[in-house]
Amino acid sequence: MTDTSRRRARIALIVPSSNTVMENDLHRGLPADRYTVHTDRMYLIETTREAEVRMIEEFAKPAASDLGTLNPDLLVFGCTSAGSLFGLDYDARVCAELGELAGCPAMGVINAASEALDGAGARRLAVITPYIDDLTRSVATALSEKGREVVAAHGMGISVNVELSDPTPEDIVRFAAERLDGVSFDTLFVSCTNFRALEAREALAAHFGVPVLTSNSTVIDAIRKRVEASVAA
Query: Which CATH number belongs to the domain containing residue 45 in this structure?
Result: 3.40.50.12500
Q: pLDDT tens digits, the chain, 233 residues: what are they?
A: 555 456 899 999 999 999 999 999 999 999 999 999 999 999 999 999 999 999 999 999 999 999 999 999 999 999 999 999 999 999 999 999 999 999 999 999 999 999 999 999 999 999 999 999 999 999 999 999 988 999 999 999 999 999 999 999 999 999 999 999 999 999 999 999 999 999 999 999 999 999 999 999 999 999 999 998 776 55
CA distance 50 to 16: 14
Is 3 domain-assigned? no
Is 55 domain-assigned? yes
73 and 129 housed in the same domain: no
Q: What is the pLDDT of residue 38?
A: 98
187 and 130 housed in the same domain: yes
Q: What is the pLDDT of residue 231?
A: 63
CATH number at residue 197: 3.40.50.1860
105 and 124 housed in the same domain: no
Q: Which residue, among 111, 123, 126, has the nearest Cα to 148 in the 3D structure?
A: 123
Q: What is the pLDDT of residue 24?
A: 97
166 and 207 housed in the same domain: yes
CA distance 195 to 172: 9
37 and 23 housed in the same domain: yes
Is 133 domain-assigned? yes
Q: What is the pLDDT of residue 147?
A: 87
127 and 146 housed in the same domain: yes
105 and 67 housed in the same domain: yes
87 and 115 housed in the same domain: no
Tell me the whole-structure pTM to 2 decimals.
0.94
Say if residues 173 and 200 touch (Cβ distance below 8 Å). yes
205 and 223 housed in the same domain: no
User: Residue 48 is part of which domain span?
Assistant: 9-109+217-232
CA distance 97 to 91: 10
Is 4 domain-assigned? no
Say if residues 79 and 52 touch (Cβ distance below 8 Å). yes
- Domains in the chain, number: 2
Q: What is the pLDDT of residue 67?
A: 98
152 and 169 housed in the same domain: yes
Is 93 domain-assigned? yes
210 and 115 housed in the same domain: yes
Q: What is the pLDDT of residue 229?
A: 76
CA distance 86 to 69: 30
Instruction: Give the SS3 label for residue 152.
Output: strand
